[in-house]
Amino acid sequence: MRIGIIGAGVAGLATAKVLKQAGHDVLIYDKSPDVGGVWSRTRRYPGLCTQSPKAQYALSDYPMPKHFPQWPGGEQIQEYLAAYAEASGLTPALRLDTEVTSAEPGPGGWTVTAGGETTRFDRLVVANGVFCEPAVPAYPGLAEFTAAGGRLRAVSDVHDAEQARGKHVLIVGYGKSANDITVPVSLTAATTTVIARHLLWKVPRKIGGFLNFKMLLLTRMGEALFRYIRLRGLEKFLHGPGDGMRGRMINSIGSVSVRQFGLAKLGLVPPGHMEDIVRGAIGLATEGFFEGVGEGRISVRHDRVITRLYAEDGSPYAELDEGSTLPADLVICATGYTQGVPFLPGDVQDRLLDERGNFLLYRQIRPLDVPGLYFNGYNSSFFSPLNAEMAAVWIAADLAGQVPLPDQAEMRRRVVDQLAFMDVATDAHHCRGTKIIPFSMHNVDEVLGDLGLNIGARVRASHWLNPINPAAYRRVTPALLKRLTPAAAEDPVGLRG
Ligand SMILES: Cc1cc2nc3c(=O)[nH]c(=O)nc-3n(C[C@H](O)[C@H](O)[C@H](O)COP(=O)(O)OP(=O)(O)OC[C@H]3O[C@@H](n4cnc5c(N)ncnc54)[C@H](O)[C@@H]3O)c2cc1C
């Protein structure tokens, strides 16, 4: 089939590789000039690095370069994904600098308009990134603030800490991106103030100074500490008789982090318990952030929001909700993203979304009621590349009619139940149904369970105490290819182009 793919981030690239190996003709559009999505030079901000250690962020059959540090920087991940695209023979199929402006369903396929050209596809995969379009608050007073020389920027639009040199900088947000950019900015700015609506728990990269957090949280045991919709095996114990022990395991990470970073002295102990991290992603602490606060280079105004931007005596300012004001030459918003599909017609969007705007996707991949359309990357997780790659395998199988799907009513029931569960489990912090944290491996198990292609029980068991190793999944794609076409299986890794 001829397949259009919107997005050349890790999800689009993994999809393209697997579908190409399965014998399809793929074309990948990206509005950026380079591949890599989040890691593109157009979106990289100072301090950007992965949360996942490099082995956990790798694709199953393409290891990260040995010389990369444990937590690679944005430029390194972009380099890695560009090399993956090249090695997988995807370069001729890339249409970079080409924004898809519309994708219309028609009889038996889709018509895509991009870069002024119209192309017909048999199927369409949307991999446009759920953390791609920044959500910047609409502060009152912006025009007056800008006229006085103030600048309001999304974090992904700040590419160099030099932009902050000598300025009074406010950073809005307390997630990983906010903390990451704060450290390099604080080295050039005149003043650096973080405006945090709430404090959040942060996990040290090295818990207690020595234990890599991946040993505790990026394992199947780590995932099992959070109650899933259905409990299996040891989970029944952890959420039954072992519940007290389970809670202590999670919350002890919180007490360690309070001690390790001296949070009480800094006045930055978050409310609630470490278990609350489930409400967002794993909040990994940024190296140097709390040290910067301790040294007085970074101030944190917590439980505060900006209520307006304005100018006074020709200089730009921000006002906070309790009435105080701060000079603000540059306001950087790390305030999240919007999840949208503006290129799809309104009636298609109506069928994709529920009344609250949540995406209704079976296995996070297949719309319930829009034929010929798939999504990838709408399963953002602790191991996003692995989830995307396994979703690509699922799509390849479904294109071949090899996924045993329940009937429409049952699919809808499961999707609706899952969303209702995620509402409770994450306090509705699931980015309109597109983020599956902390249930990353449950999703992998379900996706591969549909195909009867899960990896062996012994390796899965080893991931209870050792970090998930995406390389353990490297034979999944070849196994599917063998089932689909014996010829494709002759180039199982797909690196011959
Ligand atoms: C700062 C940050 C750090 C992260 N760190 C981690 C981590 O450590 N571990 C982890 O597992 N996950 C992490 N994530 C989650 C992350 O979203 C995924 O790891 C992954 O990069 C998402 O890939 P994607 O391909 O789905 O989306 P993206 O990387 O966002 O790629 C989508 C692409 O689609 C393109 N596009 C969008 N609309 C159009 C259009 N209309 N026409 C053409 N092209 C279009 C965009 O230009 C973009 O290149 C992080 C996310 C962020 C934002």
Domain boundaries, the chain: 2-132+339-489, 136-336
Identify the DSSP state of 158: -
Sheet holding 151-154, edge to edge: 151-154, 330-333, 168-172, 191-196, 298-302
Q: What is the model's pLDDT at position 490?
A: 54
Q: What is the model's pLDDT at position 279?
A: 58
Q: Tell me how far the alpha carbon of residue 55 lies from the centroid of ligand 1, in angstroms.
A: 18
Q: Confirm whether 2-132+339-489 and 136-336 share one CATH topology.
A: yes
Q: Is the CB of 358 under 6 A from ligand 1?
A: no
Q: Which residue ranges of the chain lie beneath pLDDT 50?
A: 489, 492-497
Mutate which of 18, 27, 38 for ligand 1? The one with the most ligand atoms within 8 Å of its CB, which is 38
Q: Is the CB of 426 under 6 A from ligand 1?
A: no
Q: Is the CB of 383 under 6 A from ligand 1?
A: yes
Q: 311: helix, coil or strand?
A: strand
Name the fold adopted by 136-336: FAD/NAD(P)-binding domain (3.50.50)
Distance separating alpha carbons of residues 159 and 45, to the nearest angstrom: 5
Classify residue 299 as exposed, middle or buried by CB count within 10 Å of its CB (0-12, 13-18, 19+): middle
Mutate which of 80, 158, 384, 443 for ligand 1? The one with the most ligand atoms within 8 Å of its CB, which is 384
Per-residue pLDDT of 38-54, as tens digits, reads 999 999 999 999 999 99
Q: What is the model's pLDDT at position 497?
A: 37
Q: What is the model's pLDDT at position 66?
A: 97
Atom from ligand 1 closest to the CA of residue 100: 42
Per-residue pLDDT of 267-324, as tens digits, reads 999 988 877 766 555 689 999 999 999 999 999 999 999 999 999 999 999 999 999 9
Asked if residue 492 has a cis previous peptide bond (ω within 30° of 0), the answer is no
The residues near 321 (Cβ < 8 Å, ≥ 6 apart) are 304, 305, 306, 307
Where do the H-state alpha helices sit in 324-383?
346-352
Q: Are 113 and 6 in contact (CB under 8 A)?
A: no
Q: Is the CB of 173 under 6 A from ligand 1?
A: no
Atom from ligand 1 closest to the CA of residue 342: 41
Q: Is the CB of 34 under 6 A from ligand 1?
A: no
Distance separating alpha carbons of residues 144 and 497, to the nearest angstrom: 55
Q: What is the model's pLDDT at position 121?
A: 98
In words, the CATH class of domain 2-132+339-489 is: alpha beta
Q: Tell me how far the alpha carbon of residue 486 lies from the centroid of ligand 1, in angstroms.
A: 33
